[in-house]
Amino acid sequence: MDWVTVALYASIVFMGWLNIYAVTYDQSASISIFSLQLNSGRQLLFIAGSIIIIMGILIMDMRFYETFAYVIYGFIMFLLLLVPIIGKEVGGNKAWLGIGSFGVQPSEFAKFATALAVAKYMGSVGFKMDQLRNQVILFVMIGVPMLLILLQKDTGTALVFTVFTVVYFREGMSPMLIIMGVIAAIIFILTLLVNQNYLFIGIGVILVSAIMLGRKKLKRIGVLTGAALLVCGVIVSVDYVVTDVLKPHQQNRVKALINPDADPLGFGWNVTQSKIAIGSGGFTGKGFLKGTQTKFDFVPEQSTDFIFCTIGEEHGWLGSLFIMSLFIGLMLRVIFLAERQKNRFARVYGYAVACIFFFHFAINIGMTIGLFPVIGIPLPFFSYGGSGLWGFTILLFILLKLDIHRSQVLQRM
């Protein structure tokens, strides 16, 4: 058992629990941190549930996960399919499957299931990264849960699956896909920021200078011109995407990112209030339970998606540094664990764990400080919520279970 990872996990969960209490703390009401009236009390139950889950994972035979990877994947996909049909709606998103008063979000468990399935596929005999057929299957494996989750209108969670491309990159896929994705995102943002005509002029200038500077072969000129026209096409289509494909609230989130002051009480509210809360913390913060912005509901979703605001407000820059160090420590440790696995299945799985954590971490904190659009995904182990905590716990502890038995497996590298 890798106790460094366990210690990091335990610290983050504990800090998260304290901050969930800080959010709901009411000095006039004096309710115990353990009270089930408060999110902190309920989160403690979820934490207790996590310990049971961890024990279950550790007791299970290590071969179970690889053997049943596709079964688990298929089962969770089936549940995802059920959600739009028999699911119940909570807070605008139909993402919950309810059994009595108890509800779970299958989308939170789809992450580890997909990670297992992808790892099994990539670890199977005869898998070659450079074969188109294999690549297509890999993208279908992440495309299915994305599509099903999009049907629940949970764009944030659906986007998480794009991070599997980083895992594929680690295993030999060309980085072109990621690079092109990043370029597309930059062009997308630029299109919103800068007048289209200036962009066209800019592209024209780059095209002409590229042709002039290089060798003037017809093929090269043709390729460059084609690329430039393609980019221009993307620019034109962005306008269409923003106004016609994105829903109004999604458009506003993008606009808020670019200029939150345009409508601080409207679509810019979340980002503005979140930055006020974090910014008012200063270097050392206002002190535990002394925050005003998060406590008095100025920041929305303050115990789930915007939990980081409480850290920023009550513990300042130093507190933020500490929490971010815990997360980066955990992610680097997971990569370290992944790299020391003896088989491809376990390594791929380990990278999937690290990348999923990273995606949540980057998007969640990035949105609270106004660097990313508001995409509602939780901060792993930190945000309030049972499904999220359990999903991430399963994700991490399957890796730890595999790590314990790493020397028992045959090398199939």
Partner 1 sequence: MNEGRREIIQIVFVLVAVVFLIKLFFIQVIDNRYKKLSDSNAILPEVDYPVRGLIKDRNGKLIVYNTPEFDLKIIHKEVKNFDSTRFCEVFSKTPQELRLLFKELKARREYSSVKPTIFLTKLSTLDFAKIQDNIDEFPGFYIQARSTRAYTAKAGANAIGYVSEISKTKLDRDKTGIYKQGDYVGQSGIEAYYEEFLRGQRGVRFKLRNVDGVEKGSFKNGAIDTLSIPGQDITTTLDFNLQEYGEYLLNGKAGSIIAIEPSSGEILAMVSGPSYDPNLLTGKNYSSNFVLISNDTLKPLFNRPLMAQYRPGSIFKIAQAMVALQEKVITPETRFRCDRSIINCHGPHTNEDLRGAITHSCNPYFHAALRRMLNKGASNNPFDDTRIGLEEWNKHIRSFGLGKPLGIDLPNEKGGLVPSPAYYDRAYGGRPWKFSNIYSIAIGEGENLVVPLQMANFAATIANKGYYIIPHLVKGIGEAGKPLPKYTEKHFTTIDSTYFRVAADAMQAVVESGTGSYRGKLQDIIVCGKTGSVQNEPRPDHSVFIAYAPKENPKIAVSVYVEFSGQGARAAASIATLMIEKYLYGATKRPQIEEYVLRGKFLN
Of the two residues 237 and 292, which places its CB atom closer to partner 1 in the complex? 292
- Joined together, the tokens standing for residue 256 give 């808020």
- Nearest Cα neighbor of 409 from 318, 335, 343 is 343
Of the two residues 84 and 175, which places its CB atom closer to partner 1 in the complex? 175
Bridge partner list, 88: 96
Of the two residues 370 and 373, which places its CB atom closer to partner 1 in the complex? 370
User: Residue 182 CB, nearest distance to partner 1 (Å)?
Assistant: 11
Amino acid letter for position 367: M
User: Residue 297 CB, nearest distance to partner 1 (Å)?
Assistant: 4
- Nearest Cα neighbor of 76 from 131, 129, 144, 11 is 144
- Return residues touching partner 1 (CB under 8 A): 26-28, 166, 169-172, 273, 275-283, 292-293, 295-298, 312-313, 316-317, 320-321, 324, 327-328, 331-332, 335, 339, 351, 354-355, 358, 361-362, 365-366, 369-371
CA angle, residues 35, 38, 39, in degrees to nearest 5: 120
User: Residue 198 CB, nearest distance to partner 1 (Å)?
Assistant: 27
User: Residue 168 CB, nearest distance to partner 1 (Å)?
Assistant: 11
- Nearest Cα neighbor of 310 from 333, 330, 281 is 281
Of the two residues 66 and 171, which places its CB atom closer to partner 1 in the complex? 171
User: Residue 186 CB, nearest distance to partner 1 (Å)?
Assistant: 15
Of the two residues 39 and 320, which places its CB atom closer to partner 1 in the complex? 320
Give SS3 for 93. Answer: strand
Write the CA distances from 187 to 193, 199, 373, integer angstroms: 10, 9, 15
Phi and psi torsions of 191, nearest 5°? -60, -35
Of the two residues 306 and 358, which places its CB atom closer to partner 1 in the complex? 358
Of the two residues 408 and 411, which places its CB atom closer to partner 1 in the complex? 411
CA angle, residues 351, 347, 80, in degrees to nearest 5: 60
User: Residue 19 CB, nearest distance to partner 1 (Å)?
Assistant: 16
Phi and psi torsions of 18, nearest 5°? -60, -40
Residue 337 CB-density burial (10 A; 0-12 exposed, 13-18 middle, 19+ buried): buried
User: Residue 26 CB, nearest distance to partner 1 (Å)?
Assistant: 7
Of the two residues 35 and 280, which places its CB atom closer to partner 1 in the complex? 280
Contacts of 92 (CB under 8 A, 6+ apart): 153
Write the CA distances from 231 to 9, 179, 207, 210, 225, integer angstroms: 44, 14, 11, 15, 10
DSSP string, 233-281: HHHHHHHHIIIIIS-HHHHHHHHHHH-GGGSTTTTTHHHHHHHHHHHTT
